Structure 1
Amino acid sequence: MNFGVHLWDQYENLSQYTDKGIIFLEDIIKFLRGRIKIEIEYAKELKKLVKSHISTNKKKEDSYYTFTHATAFITYIKEISDVAGQHDQIAEELSKYEKDMNNSINTYKTERKRLFNRALKEQADLRNQIAKHDKARKLYEKSAKEEEKARERYIEMENDDLKTKAEVYNAKGIATSKQQICESYKTDYAAELKKTNDMQRTHYSIVMPDIYNHIQNMEEGRIEEVKNRLISFMEVEKKVVPILQRCIDGMEACCKTINAEKDIQTVIDLYRSGYTPNGDIEFVEYGTSTPNTTKKKNKLKAASFIRYRPHQNDKKDDPFFTNLPPLQQKKKINEKIVNFQKTLLKLNQERSGLEKMLEVAEKGVGVEGSSTPKSHMGLSQDRMNEELDKNRQNIENIQSEIEKYENFLRNIGHSKEETKSPNLNNHTPSSVKTTSLPPPPKEEITPTHSISNNDSDMFEEFEEDYSDSNHIEDCSLGRATAKYAFEGQNEGSLAIRDGEKLQIIEADTGDGWTRVKNDSGEDGFVPTLYIEYD
């Protein structure tokens, strides 16, 4: 199965076919260039898209990115960024084949031109030989006809009695001459015929098959080139498939981390204030009380929408976060304590390292018997002692800060919904330590919204009359029973006995204290944990 045997007479078709083969290779290069361009643009746009949706500052500044679905999205698009990187890799690897293919095309073009030029030359030589053969044949044919005419004329004159001997002799000489010329042309024709046949036989059996077989080899190489290039392109993509699969696995894993219940709990932890809702607004009876009583009731009604809050301090001057609701304040202080503890751990490790260095340095001095301070690791003993002193001072400062925040945290108290202290289960009067209780809140009122200047006098009056027993009776929120005795030694607190019946006049607002009134009409703050609602 070869071109030389089966396509010996298909020079034109082979020429067109091989030309299309070169064009086909050029089309593959065009495709390769387009693919590389698309991969680069795709990777670029994908990275741009990822960059527009993720920022290093987002996680730090936006608390929304603490939720599982938000962090999963960040992880997801980071995996997309890795996918984009693999497309860059594909483009880079494919670009390596472009130059090789251009070189191959130039080689095929040169080889094709050489082979077909050789074929053209061989065909031209054969045509020239055939032309010589045809010319020799025509000369021989013409000479033979002239020789035949001369012979016929000689025979005719020889048989004619009227012709003289001279005329007959002349005719015989012409016939003989023509015969000799014809024989000469015949010999030339025979030689050209043999030469033409030999050349034609060699042309179709040896020369052209050899050329066509070389063209066949060139085509087989070109087709193998296409095969190998396509395999190479596939290998480039196959190489990145495991990495892309890991990216996909990463996407799948981050999707599985999304937890709606956890996010809901995070929302609660993030925004829960610890305050309790306002109680019911009391009905105000008009026309049956004295003007002074009505005035006080109206003031009390206005005050029912006011919540006790700490001062709203500037965050920069508020190390205890008193501007936050109780639970959020507790959360922030706990975070601060954890940070201090991490710093303390680092300082302790640093101290341990310095002590070991100092011990090694002192041993070195003892061995050498010299009193001159020696250096160790670039530090002298004096310098190490100085560093140890600084370290101890830093540790003391950090411990002081931790103690300060822990004490403040103990004094904050717990809201009723937040408290899950073991004391709830194992409380006995003897186990209660009033020293661990938060101080009663001052009777300082901060509105939940801004108050206009026109209303400020009304709130000042309210503060003056707030302890009046007339309107306290109208502000009852229910009754409770004391579970434990409370001495009430602090200003604003109320002493209670175990089992004493109390009237609730102000619910716990998250600071751990509830305002109550006893049967004697005395009112004040008691720890919420010390009473039980009836």
Structure 2
Amino acid sequence: MAEKATDDYRKADADINLSRAEVEKTRNQMMIKNNQCDESKNEYAAQLQQTNQHQRDHYTQQMPAVFQQMQSMEENRINKIKSMVRQVADIERSVIPIINTCIDGMVKASDGISAEEDSKAVIDKFKSGFPIPEDIPFEDLSNASVIDTSNANGTPKNSLDSRKGTVSDKKRNKKDKKGGGGEGMLKMKDVYVNNPALGDPNALEKKIEENALKIDSLQAEMRKFQGYLANMDGKPSPAGQRRSSLSDDSISQSSTNMEMSQTSIPGQPQIVPNEPEVYTDEEFEEERAVELRKKEDKKAIDDEDGDHVGEFDHPEGDFDEEGYPVIGTSGNEGSVAMGEGEEMFVLEQDQGDGWTRVRKHDNSEGFVPTSYIQCHFYDQDEV
């Protein structure tokens, strides 16, 4: 711009056709442009000097300072990792003796394992204790007298005794189990009455009634089979002895001797057994239905009077008086203490008495209230 203004002034000054005023005007423009050019050069020089100074400061001071800070941070990180590794090593070194002690205990415990003693313990736990049966004697079947004696004897005595004992004990155990369940429900009802916060006593009424009916049914069924077995054993059974309620004897049998049937052999006389006078199943069911109706009529009368005591009047000696334990008697009558959220193994499900038999993780066993626990059973296919 300044150079162009100077060229314009020179051309105007050399042109003789221009007036003096126009030449002076061109000269003034040239001087203004030259002054602006000088100012711009000075400003550029100042800014260039300042830029160079900032550049020198950036590379000589600011950037080294940033790198120094980064180096310090990295060194601090490395030192922290070093300290952490040292601390982990010290902890591991301090724990090694404990681990060695545990390993020594494991080795010692493994040395104490005896396969023979374990096998003996299993044998002692599951052995039946029954003696080995005697050898079957040889019988000369060519002798007719031996055949007659064998046929007259019928079922072997040992087999009859075993049958009788098995049926009677099974029914008696089932009856005692139901009786114990009834006692447990009665005790639980008393606990609920004394402390309503534990549960509603009215909720047990139906279960108690059902349990009483089951007990009476099992008693009658057991007496029926006992009568059958007595006749088979050749023992007289009391005749005409009946009681009015299902809690007493509900079957009467005539006193007869039952002879075992003989096996017919060609050429030998056939012995006809005497028919025992025993109640049939139809007569037993008819008598049981009559007694059930009597019991329902008596219960209806008791409901009107508000008295249900007579419903559980069993004769003394029918059931074991121990029953199942009451809530709060842990360690005394077969129950065990339990805490909220505790997990246990179910050994026996609730049989209608409100109690479930469980095993805790410390191998202690006992009964707990069924209403206080939540049971999860697995299907056999899943086991």
Q: Shorter-chain TM-score category?
A: 0.3 to 0.5
TM-score (norm 1): 0.25
TM superposition score normalised by structure 2: 0.33
More RCO (CA 8 Å, sep 6+): 1
Greater share of residues in helix: 1
